[in-house]
Amino acid sequence: MSLPSSTAYDVIVVGSGPTGSTYVREVYDRHPTARILLLDAGPRLTDAPGTHVKNIPDPAERARAQRASEGPGPAGRPGTRLLDAPELPAAAVSTNVGGMGAHWTGACPRPGDGERIGFVPEAEMDAHLTRAEQLLHVDAHAFDRAPFADEVRRRLSTLFDAGRPAHRRVAPMPLAVTTRPDGAHAWSGTDVILGGAAADERVEIADRCLCLRVVLEGDTATGVVVRDTVTGEERQVTARAVVVAADALRTPQLLHASGVRPPALGRYLNDQPQIVYAVRLPDDVVAAHRAVTGRTRDEDGAIVPQSGVSWVPYTDAHPFHGQVMQLDASPVPLADDTGIEPGAVVGLGWFCAKDITADDRIEFDDTTADAHGLPAPRIHYRYSDRDLAGIEQAKKAVAEAGAAIGIPLDDSPFLLPAGSSLHYQGTTRMGAVDDGTSVCDSHSRVWNTRGLWVAGNNVIPTATACNPTLTSVALAVRGADALLAHLEATGNRSAAPPSRLTPSTP
């Protein structure tokens, strides 16, 4: 379908990725009568909306789903299209029901040390993270049968664990995966987050439906204007609350187009510099740990049991996040077929925490339109001297890790083009007070605008190195608490927007 079937809902969510779907699920589970509209400018790829494309058994069907996600423009990584952003040349987006949740690697580490948000109470954040793990079906033991994973982690632990607290030592990577009835694993997409909500009549999913602007009456968001991308027909739809979860690049664009323009909008753009390296395990290790399963991933979409994903956590003393993936575990191919036994090729990816500055930003041109008629974006982005020094340190660390694991397949670690991580953050960042350096409060409510929430990696205000999805889903859980309170209060329209220079409150 395209245009919504009704003109009035309780909640409208713009963007069907992991955080938008979290708002839908939390409101659906906890408000027995709320009617929810979930909008996405892209197509539905699978019968169950938001299924991870790697779970599609047929390779040709999977490739078609990835192409359908790319939208207009040059293709980037499968399922994405590149933006015209010279200073962030690998910047890319997906446009499909499920968003990047249909294409991601499923890594769900908890943030630690300086990655944590200081003004969100620690106990509350831990509870939100636990709920996020439930929604995503996070499992740290999905690959316990992997024949080489224990050896990879043993070697990494010897190198990195000294002096670390127990919860920040080398460990299996917590992954968003679901266990099938036959015991095999599949990647969690947003279909897993939505659960039964996707099939309930109280929840409507409108695909190929582009949100053009949020409608404001004074300081209150009252709905959205949408366009059917197939027919071009437009319609205004009302709601008591609007959540914009259109990713870190398009969420600030939509707010700008709607006239919601706090000083921090689009600023503090944060992408994680990514260093990669590949090695293979020594022949004697492969021989000692070899196990033949007979399953290949393409047979039925399952993750093969030889897979393994390991985690070197971020710490303030080691301000990098290591994601160590045995070749066949990655939804993104790490290398061409080398003829080496599956699982014996190990890809190391080190993500760096970047300096956060207001100068790294997206600005929007009201005189020039993009392909959808919205204000055209321009990205400003650069590495500071401190960033460049950190990148060199990360290269050294990943080279040491590779040498500890096995035999290099690359001459040396190399830095991927800026934007390659797809972990864009900060452009609608949260803050403790509205002092001009944030867009929303700690419950993701846009400052001075009643009934409007933002969601996604873009609300994360800290310099992170770990994969951000678990954190952003946890913050969506937190935001949904405030949204549900808003729904209860708006029977008499008495709920006030978060006010300038006042601390965030539930």
User: Which residues are tagged catalytic?
Assistant: 423
DSSP-derived 3-state class of residue 220: strand
CA distance 134 to 195: 12
CA 242, 246, 248, 249 torsion: positive or negative?
Answer: negative
> Which has the closest alpha carbon to 399: 277, 310, 280, 317?
277
Length of the chain: 506
CA distance 8 to 21: 19
DSSP-derived 3-state class of residue 379: strand
> Which has the closest alpha carbon to 15: 119, 92, 118, 94?
94
CA 13, 14, 18, 19 torsion: positive or negative?
Answer: negative
469: phi then psi, degrees, rounded to nearest 5: -60, -45
Please answer whether residues 51 and 62 qualify as being in contact, where contact means their C-beta atoms are separated by less than 8 angstroms.
Answer: no
Kindly report the number of other CB atoms within 10 A of residue 6's CB atom: 11
- DSSP assigned state of 446: B
Classify strands 320-326 and 345-352 as parallel, antiparallel or unpaired: antiparallel
496: phi then psi, degrees, rounded to nearest 5: -95, 145
Query: Where is 28: in which H helix or E strand?
Result: helix 18-30
Please answer whether residues 290 and 148 qualify as being in contact, where contact means their C-beta atoms are separated by less than 8 angstroms.
Answer: no
DSSP H helices in 276-375: 283-289, 297-300
